[in-house]
């Protein structure tokens, strides 16, 4: 099989450039590849020496002279993909969709760098494209709107097949364009390029001039507001109380729309947070070797699978991720998932304190992460997926292959700590703190004995004992009485809320009553409806989020209602245990005094 491959490559500073340069050496072992770039020479020597490289303007002549079996487009939300976007509309092919939101790309290219409003409009459904353009040009816009309107219409229309990297992404693409042929091919992680590979972190730190005992936190990848670094830095500042030598490393390009220095300055962390900017892949892997704990949060998300996250996990590092969209698909035992909402900062703080204290837990989660990546994100598995999709698109089935990586047998698995149970216990502890009216993030000095100083079993027991508090307190909501039995109307209201909280409005249906006037009136009503919707949709979206939070709070209240009697029973039992302990301590004291008198 012979294919034309369209993708940015270095020196274009894009995650897709790194992805292609990792994938190409393995894909070329099975098919012939011609690479087409946008008017530059790739800087990586291996790519220049081992692949035929042409400018995109040469494609049409080469394709007419000797047609390619398939065309492969690597498409992302970056200006460097403009030539791919245009070529796809002339020559449909297989699209690897790295981002499910292209709105930033469309606005930046067609409304800012060059004036092409029709190209911008065509990327959205016909019912909303005009109102979106007017809103954008009038400045009635926010960053959240980019994530509400994806702009995938053009790409999906001209694609013969679509490759995404997660099941969540596949479902979202089908919601936008049900006719699309969507395939899930895992994002591959190439070999470790670190100059320090195989060496323990303490030795790497020493070689870089750091103390081997320095606790190093790190975030990798493009730094944007959605990376939640404000939350991470606040939790890091709390951690400094117990670990004053800890340092925070931010590795990656800083978005021009994100003032990271201001965040650091406002929290008094100058000199403690080190920012590298963009680094080559070899240096990236080397800095992962230095890290002890990685924080890779993201909200909102453009639906992308984070290559930085997978590379960190492949190095056996414990990592915190947002429990959201594609990241929620990761197994619960190979990362620590942070819930969105009021407890987000508290969960990050609890996880950092726990991991900082327990090296064995860091090793356990990191090793599980490494095994997961080796099994599910191997280059061999990715190449096999590409061969199957390209074979279908070109009507030529490539020779069968065997996806790399096989699950380990139960006998080969080590006896691990129950990480999901531990995460659930921390969640319960944070809700308990909310019920008692304590602030979030919590005052860690008051909770050291529960969060940081106990062994794993002691943590589980302590959290289980203190789960039910008897009174429910939410943020700024006041206190609520706990009933002995659940009122019937509470059950009925919760049932209604849980099934209908996101049903905000019904779509407009315009019925024609007279042949001419009916059509005219229907058109006027539809146009008016579109204009109103363009202003109301963002507010409706935010109201849905508020409704979801209200339902969650009411469900939490219901737990207190149903668990009231059990909570009181547990409290009574707890008091009896304390009394017995006092009696035992008194008896021990009495015996010790008797032994001293005899001596």
Tell me the domain boundaries of the chain: 2-102+150-184, 201-372, 483-562
Rounded Cα–Cα distance for residues 205 and 289 (Å): 9
The pLDDT of residue 326 is 85
Sign of the Cα pseudo-torsion (325, 327, 330, 335, in order): negative
- Measured CA to CA, the distance from residue 339 to residue 347 in angstroms comes to 8
First to last CA, the chain: 93
Tokens at 114, concatenated: 């060059």
Per-residue confidence (pLDDT) for residue 30, from 0 to 100: 94
User: Quick one: how far is CA 464 from the chain centroid?
Assistant: 29
* 2-102+150-184 and 201-372 share one fold: yes
Q: 201-372 belongs to which homologous superfamily? A: Glycogen Phosphorylase B; (3.40.50.2000)
Q: What is the pLDDT of residue 92?
A: 96
What's the pTM? 0.65
At 299-346, the pLDDT tens digits run 988 778 999 999 999 999 999 999 988 899 899 999 999 999 888 999
Q: Is 314 exposed, middle or buried (0-12, 13-18, 19+ CB in 10 A)?
A: buried
Positive or negative torsion for Cα 227, 231, 236, 242: negative
| CB-based burial, 245-269: b 16+ in 10 Å, e otherwise | ebbbbbbbbbeeebebeebbeeeeb
Low-confidence spans in the chain with pLDDT less than 50: 396-416, 439-460, 462-463, 466-486, 505-514, 562
**Per-residue model confidence as pLDDT tens digits over 522-539:** 667 667 766 776 666 666
pLDDT given for residue 503 in this prediction: 54
DSSP category for residue 108: I
The 10s digit of each residue's pLDDT in 491-501 is: 666 666 666 55
Q: Report the pLDDT value the prediction gives residue 375, as an integer from 0 to 100.
A: 94
Q: The dihedral of CA 104, 107, 110, 115: what is its sign?
A: negative
For domain 2-102+150-184, give the CATH superfamily. Answer: Glycogen Phosphorylase B; (3.40.50.2000)
The predicted structure's pLDDT at residue 460: 45
- What is the model's pLDDT at position 584? 77
Predicted pLDDT of residue 374: 95
Predicted confidence at residue 137, as pLDDT, reads 81
């Amino acid at each position: 099989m012979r294919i034309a491959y369209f993708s940015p490559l270095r020196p274009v500073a894009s995650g897709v450039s790194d992805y292609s340069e990792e994938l190409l050496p393995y894909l070329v072992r099975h098919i012939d590849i011609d690479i087409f770039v946008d008017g530059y020479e790739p800087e990586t020597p291996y790519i220049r020496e081992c692949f035929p490289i042409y400018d995109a303007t040469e494609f049409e002549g080469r394709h007419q002279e000797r047609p390619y079996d398939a065309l492969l487009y690597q498409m992302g939300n970056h200006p460097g993909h403009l030539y791919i976007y245009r070529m796809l509309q002339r020559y449909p092919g297989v699209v690897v969709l790295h981002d499910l939101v292209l709105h930033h790309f469309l606005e930046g290219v067609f409304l800012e760098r060059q004036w092409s409003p029709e190209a911008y409009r065509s990327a959205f459904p016909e019912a909303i494209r005009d109102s979106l353009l007017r809103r954008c040009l009038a400045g009635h816009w926010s960053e959240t709107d980019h994530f509400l309107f994806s702009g995938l219409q053009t790409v999906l229309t001209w694609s013969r097949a679509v490759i995404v990297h997660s099941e969540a992404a596949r479902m979202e693409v089908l919601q936008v364009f049900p006719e699309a042929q969507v395939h899930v091919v895992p994002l591959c992680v190439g070999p470790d390029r670190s100059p320090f590979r195989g060496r323990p972190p303490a030795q790497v730190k020493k070689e870089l001039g750091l103390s081997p005992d320095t606790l190093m936190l790190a975030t990798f990848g493009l730094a944007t507001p959605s990376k939640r670094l404000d939350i991470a830095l606040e939790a890091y500042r709390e951690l400094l109380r117990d670990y004053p030598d800890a340092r925070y490393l931010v590795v990656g390009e800083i978005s021009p729309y994100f003032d990271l220095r201001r965040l650091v300055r406002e929290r008094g962390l100058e000199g403690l947070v080190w920012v590298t900017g963009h680094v080559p892949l070899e240096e990236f892997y080397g800095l992962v070797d230095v890290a002890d704990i990685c924080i890779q949060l993201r909200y909102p998300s453009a639906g992308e699978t984070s290559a930085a996250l997978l590379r960190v996990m492949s190095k056996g590092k414990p990592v915190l991720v947002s429990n959201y969209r594609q990241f929620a698909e990761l197994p619960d035992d190979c990362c620590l998932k942070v819930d969105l909402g009021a407890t987000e900062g508290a969960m990050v703080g609890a996880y950092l304190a726990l991991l900082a204290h327990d090296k064995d837990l860091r090793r356990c989660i990191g090793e599980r992460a490494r095994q997961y990546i080796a099994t599910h994100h191997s280059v061999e598995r990715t190449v096999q997926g590409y061969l199957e999709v390209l074979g279908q698109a070109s009507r030529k089935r490539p020779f069968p292959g065997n996806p790399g990586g096989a699950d380990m047998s139960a006998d080969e698995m080590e006896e691990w700590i129950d990480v999901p149970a531990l995460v659930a216990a921390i969640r319960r502890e944070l809700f308990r703190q909310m019920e008692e009216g304590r602030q979030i993030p919590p005052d860690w000095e008051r909770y050291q004995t529960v969060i940081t100083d106990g062994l794993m079993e002691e943590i589980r027991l302590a959290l289980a004992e203190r789960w039910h508090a008897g009174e429910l307190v939410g943020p700024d909501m006041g206190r609520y009485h706990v009933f002995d039995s659940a009122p019937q109307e509470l059950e009925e209201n919760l049932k209604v809320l849980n099934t209908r909280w996101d049903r905000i409005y019904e779509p407009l249906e315009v019925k024609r009553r007279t042949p001419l006037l009916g059509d005219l009136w229907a058109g006027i009503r539809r146009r008016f409806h579109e204009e109103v919707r363009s202003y109301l949709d963002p507010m409706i979206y935010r109201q849905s989020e508020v409704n979801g939070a209200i339902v969650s709070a009411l469900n939490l209240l219901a737990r207190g209602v149903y668990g009231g009697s059990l909570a009181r029973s547990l409290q009574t039992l707890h008091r009896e245990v304390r009394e017995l302990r006092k009696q035992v301590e008194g008896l021990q004291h009495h015996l010790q005094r008797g032994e001293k008198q005899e001596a």
